[in-house]
Amino acid sequence: MSQSKMNRRDFLKITAVGVTALAGAQVIRRAKASEPTPASGRKWAMVIDQSLCNGCGYCVMACRAHNDISPEITWNPVLEAGQVGDKKIYLPRPCMQCSQAPCVDVCPVKASHYRPDGIVMMNYDRCIGCRYCEVACPYGARSFNWKAFTEQNPAVPEWGQPEVARRPRGVVEKCAFCYQRIDRGLTLGMTPGVDPDATPACVVVCPVGARFFGDLNDPESNVSKLLKARTSYRLRADMGTGPRVYYLSATEENA
């Protein structure tokens, strides 16, 4: 009898020690993971000049065509953002490609993940459609496929040709900086942000040139130069999400 009691006590002890050790290991791992990674390769970023944007919405349509998005979903809406003088100001909102993305943290299956170049990617074959990322994203950048999109895409061919596979019903989708254009462009020796074929469709289509794209790790890229020369801001920077979409404000002088 006493023998069996000892065993149970030992079992409890071992369990407690084991759980504590596991938790400790996890804490150390997290601490290690949050250390800044050495600047390796590229970090893509977008700069949007609000003093130039006139709210035409071409970027919305080009995005829909190139990424084959249902008309019910918008990855990249253009929002009204007040007035400067008597001029309306707009705010186009792609995915922010956060460096500390809440969606990546919460995804239970790692369907949302970081690419080495900083793009927050979706693995549509892995997504289970729990929509936790939608709840977690502060920017409303994620859309769920409530229905299957089987109709013809009304944005095609006027605004471009689809370059990626259509997402099935039941997964969450979002902007990924037209990674397909970047990747293809790089293999062909082009420079994203400079060569249109290697640059996100919304940047290419913008008739007033309000969008800029490039590598933050390259001091000579147009985004690095712009951010150095002008004052920029990021959406909800206070939350610490580290967005890689920068905005140049419209002011009385430049609007």
Partner 1 sequence: MKIRLKLSKLSPWLAWLIGMGVVVAAGVGAGLIVFWKGLSVTNLTDLIPWGLWITIDLSSIAVSAGAFSLCAAVYLLGLKRFQPVARTATFIGLIGYSMALLTLLMDIGRPDRFWHAVVYWNKHSLLWEVTMCVTLYLAVLALESMPIFAQFEWLKKRWPKLSGKMSHVHHYAPYLAVIGLGLSMLHQSSLGAVYGVLKARPFWYRPDVSVLFIISAVAGGMSLTVFASMLSARLTRRVSVDDSLLERVAYFIGWTLVLYLYFRFWDALSMTYTYTPGRTEGLQLLTRGPLSFNFWAGEILLGIVAPMVLLLYRPTRTSQVWRMLALLLVVGGVVAYRWDTNISGLMIVLTYLPGEPIVEYTHYFPSLIEVLSGAGVVGYGLLAFSLGVRYLRVVDHRAVEAHAEEKQLTEPATTD
Q: Per the omega criterion (within 30 degrees of 0), is the bond before 157 cis?
A: yes
Q: In DSSP terms, which residues pair with 112 in a beta bridge?
A: 122
Taking CB under 8 A as the criterion, which residues in 111-140 touch partner 1? 111, 126-132, 134-140
Is 231 near partner 1 (CB under 8 A)? no
- Judging by DSSP bridges, how do beta strands 112-114 and 120-122 pair with one another? antiparallel
CA separation for the pair 173, 121 (Å, rounded): 10
d(CA 191, CA 143): 30
Q: How far is the CB of 252 from partner 1 (least distance, A)?
A: 16
Restricting to residues 171-230, name those near partner 1 by CB under 8 A. 171-172
Among 4, 40, 150, 187, binds partner 1 (CB under 8 A): 4
> What's the Cα-to-Cα distance from 41 to each of 44, 116, 118, 216, 217, rounded to whole Å?
10, 8, 10, 10, 7
Alpha-carbon Rg for the chain in angstroms:
22
Q: Which of residues 33-92 bind partner 1 (CB under 8 A)?
A: 79, 81-82, 91
Nearer to partner 1, 2 or 187 (CB): 2
Least distance to partner 1, CB of residue 73, Å: 9
> Which positions lie near partner 1, rule CB under 8 A?
1, 3-4, 8, 11-12, 15, 19, 26, 30, 79, 81-82, 91, 93, 102, 104-111, 126-132, 134-140, 142-148, 168-172, 233, 235-236, 239-240, 247, 249
